[in-house]
Structure 1
Amino acid sequence: MNDVAGLRQPMVTSIGIIMGFQLAFLANWALTAETVPAVVGLADTVLALTFLVSTVAFMLVLFRLLNNRIVTNPGQRYQDTLRIYISALVLAFVGLAVALLI
């Protein structure tokens, strides 16, 4: 798979949507905790850490997708980027699930 140009745009769009939901969730979470800190227990800590790591991973994926430097093997670079993307997505949902169960 050498021509990955058509595969990048859907991933960029989905990252925008997912990060938008993540940031809106975190902003709402922070604003509802008016008198106390938003992170008070183990569940809050797990959720905050997993969202932070997944957001950083999504930004890394976005950088890799939008970087226009010529690479020797674009197919392999896309596969590596896809793995990071899927890992960030799974991490966000696992963090949310764990926070709900704690």
Structure 2
Amino acid sequence: MLHLISASPVPSAVLERIDSGSSVVFLENAVLWILRDGRLYDRLAGMLADHPLYALSADLLMRGIEADRIVEGIEVIDYPGLVELTVAHPLIQSWN
């Protein structure tokens, strides 16, 4: 399953509902919660072992966030990369 998270702040309950192996894309203001010095750092770093995590480059850029400021291991993707993920995952859950 592909989870699209745009909610800000990112609720812990949302992260708890993500099954192992599911992919997660952080969009819009949710990218503010994936910073290395953020409150979710430990949680996200732990998730990387079982979940591919992504951030949309346009949303990082719009908020002035450089890729080296986000949790290491989160892959930055562009819109074509997002489309590829949506095609690869028949089930998509959007968290607003």
TM-score, length basis structure 1: 0.29
The answer to which structure has the higher strand fraction is: 2
Give the helix-richer structure, 1 or 2.
1
